[in-house]
Amino acid sequence: MIKPVSTILLIVILSSTFLFANNSNDLLSRIITVNVKNKRLDTTLQLIGKESGFSFSYNSSILDLGKKISIKKQNVTVNNLLIELLGSHYEFKQIGNSHVIIREALTLTIKPIEQKKRHSKTELEHLKSDYEIQGRVIDQKTGKGIEYIVVYDESEKVLSLTDSLGYYSLKTSVERLQKGVFFRGLGYYDTMVQLSPKIGNKTTRFDVVLTPNNNNTQPITTDLAIQKEKIHQLKFIQNFIPEEANIISNNIEYTATRGFQFTLIPFISNNNFLGGSYTNKFSLNVFLGYSAGVDNGLEVGGFVNINRNNMKGAQIAGISNIVGKDVNGAQVGGIINYDMASVDGLQVGGIINVVEDSLVGVQIGGINNNVRENVRGLQIGGIINTTRTALKGVQIGGIYNYSKNIYGVQVGGILNTTQKTVNGLQLAGINSYTKDLKGWQISGITSTISASNKGVQLSGIYNYARTQKGVQIGLINTAKEVENGIAIGLFTYYKNGYHAVSYSINENGFLNGTFYSGTKKLYNYYRIGAQIDKNYNFGIGFGSFLFKRFVLEVGLENVYDIKIEDINTQFIQIKTLYVQPVFKRLSVTVGPSFNVSYSKIPNEFTPPPSFYHQKLNDNSMYWISGSIGIRYNW
């Protein structure tokens, strides 16, 4: 019978990540390619482990971790590569499917091979029996206990956290103790302990000293282990995900991808308490799923899916998807999608979508879409769309759209707001607002530009721009100042524009008073006049200084006949005027006009015979006339 002995193997694990390389169970036989130039030995081992899909475990005191390594190998086995790197003084042993131990080779006395004896009934019962390991985890540099160190066995089903003084207690089987107990903490080299308790013992004490990771130059504090990731700062996460999950996820990070995760609620899962540490190919979450992420796969949740890191693939949830980092693929949430980094792909939320960074692709929200940075693509919100930085694409909101800058099209059922610049088209049912316009702004009622208009501003009623350098089209157009712009509408007023009044008389004896407003390039005029004891007239039109002293005006004149007490004659008038300054603001105007008229009463309106005229029919005619007047401008 084998004499029971207690054997303790303390191993410091350099790399804290488990990587998935291929399906081979023989880790040392895996074929890899490496290209390392002037890297430390510990960094080189990390790279080999990452390429191979497992972690190395070793006592840091037996290796020269600072030694510089340069090596380039293609299609070499891990075993042969390690021999070339470390020499023949070390041996390598696989532990499970996730670790390879590096240890010093021992000089052995060769003995005849003895036939392996079967375990006795007592030994088998001992292996399956429960056993408790207790102790304290201590910082190598400070000698103090470390809080929130994760202690778990090889099965990943039994876990304990150290208390504020570093004490822990773990109950598992003797068999699992022999396979290994792991001690993992953020900022420390991982440590694994293998124990072989004596038959009859049910408990033992074992203190573990953890070595701070070489990457940490500052003292390690408890805050490092319990610091909340951004996703764990959300109230919803704090209410439904235990604090222990945040601690475990901080301390244990597997970058290997597991094929499948089935979860009822966090900690009730085939990934056990390490659900938040694993990225999965496929996840099925009945109520609330919690994982490190999805890697080119699919996640389906009855209620809520929560990913600490990235989601690559497709994610569907009855209520909500919450992702701590980037989304690359399709995301569909019955109520809300909340992504704390960027989205590249399709995002559909029954009510709301929130992206803390940027969106590239399509975002559709039943009520609201909110992107904190940039959107490049299409954003459709049943009520509201918000893009905090720049939209490069199309933004469509049932009621309201907001973006800091627009490089594309913004369509709002009622309102659009662009905080800075529109480079494209801004279209709203009622009002559009931007600081600077370098494209088109179209609104059903009003358009507002708080700084400069260098594009086209079009509204059903009113346009305003602080500085007008483009085109305004609306019933009323105003600006504080105008530089090289024009306006088309019934009324235009620019504070530094062209304003004038004139008094003139024409061939029919109408004495007219006219008001002008706009710019010399294009202005509106409003005219009212009368014949002594006869008819009245009023008109409206446009004018422009074609040259410095020559004006072209086009308008519609109406003649009110006092006999019938109604408008009898209407005519279109095209007029050219020569404007001769007399004083700084006072000018004399004179020039001919071409007129085409229509009268309700046949042969009622006839110009003086001295002017050329031609009758078209009993109600219509055209003629050439003229006018002379004075004009005052300011």
**Can you spell out the DSSP letters for 561-627?**
ETTTTEEEEEEEEEEEEEEEESSSSEEEEEEEEEEEEEESSTT-----TTS-EEESSSSEEEEEEEE
* Closest of 420, 423, 349 to residue 383, by C-alpha: 349
Q: What percent of the chain has pLDDT over 70?
A: 87
Between the alpha carbon of residue 91 and those of residues 71, 95, 241, 316, 576, the distances in Å are 20, 13, 43, 48, 104
pLDDT band at 9 (very low <50, low <70, confident <90, very high): very low
pLDDT of residue 609: 65
Q: How far apart are CA 18 and CA 1, in angstroms?
A: 39
pLDDT of residue 154: 72
pLDDT of residue 443: 97
Letter for the amino acid at 75?
A: N
pLDDT of residue 105: 61
* Closest of 461, 464, 427, 420 to residue 442, by C-alpha: 427
pLDDT band at 25 (very low <50, low <70, confident <90, very high): low
> In the beta sheet, which residues pair with residue 192?
11, 182
498-633 placed in CATH 2.40.128: yes
Q: How far apart are CA 337 and CA 254, in angstroms?
A: 25
Letter for the amino acid at 60?
A: S
Do the domains 498-633 and 131-214 match in fold?
Answer: no
pLDDT band at 111 (very low <50, low <70, confident <90, very high): very low
Domain boundaries, the chain: 8-104, 131-214, 234-340, 498-633
* Closest of 228, 221, 233, 218 to residue 249, by C-alpha: 228
pLDDT of residue 314: 97
Q: Which tops the pLDDT comparison, 157 or 131? A: 131
As a whole number, mean pLDDT of residues 392-412 equals: 96
What are the pLDDT digits (tens) for 268-308? 888 777 788 888 999 999 999 999 999 999 999 999 999 99
Give me 80's structure tokens. Answer: 């042969």
Phi, psi of 41 (to 5 degrees): -65, -45
Mean per-residue pLDDT over the chain, rounded:
85
Task: Spell 143-166 as b/e; 16+ CB within 10 A means b.
Answer: eebbbbbbbbbbebebbbbbeeeb
Q: Which tops the pLDDT comparison, 3 or 574? A: 574
Q: How far apart are CA 247 and CA 280, in angstroms?
A: 20
As a whole number, mean pLDDT of residues 70-89 equals: 88
> Is the model's pLDDT at 317 over the cut of 60?
yes
Strand 159-161, strand 150-153: pairing: antiparallel
pLDDT of residue 253: 64
On the 0-12 / 13-18 / 19+ scale of CB atoms within 10 A, 8 is: exposed
Fold of 131-214: Immunoglobulin-like (2.60.40)
Q: Are 429 and 413 in contact (CB under 8 A)?
A: yes
Least confident segment among 236-240, 251-255, 609-613: 251-255
Looking at domain 8-104, which of 3.55.50, 3.10.450, 1.25.40, 3.40.50 is its CATH number?
Answer: 3.55.50
As a whole number, mean pLDDT of residues 244-263 equals: 77
Q: How far apart are CA 428 and CA 430, in angstroms?
A: 6
pLDDT of residue 496: 94
pLDDT of residue 410: 96
What does the CA dihedral 252, 169, 135, 243 come to, rounded to 10 degrees?
40
Question: What's the pTM?
Answer: 0.69
Between the alpha carbon of residue 523 and those of residues 395, 499, 511, 520, 621, the distances in Å are 36, 9, 22, 6, 28
> Is the model's pLDDT at 8 over the cut of 60?
no
Cβ neighbours, 10 Å, residue 108: 6
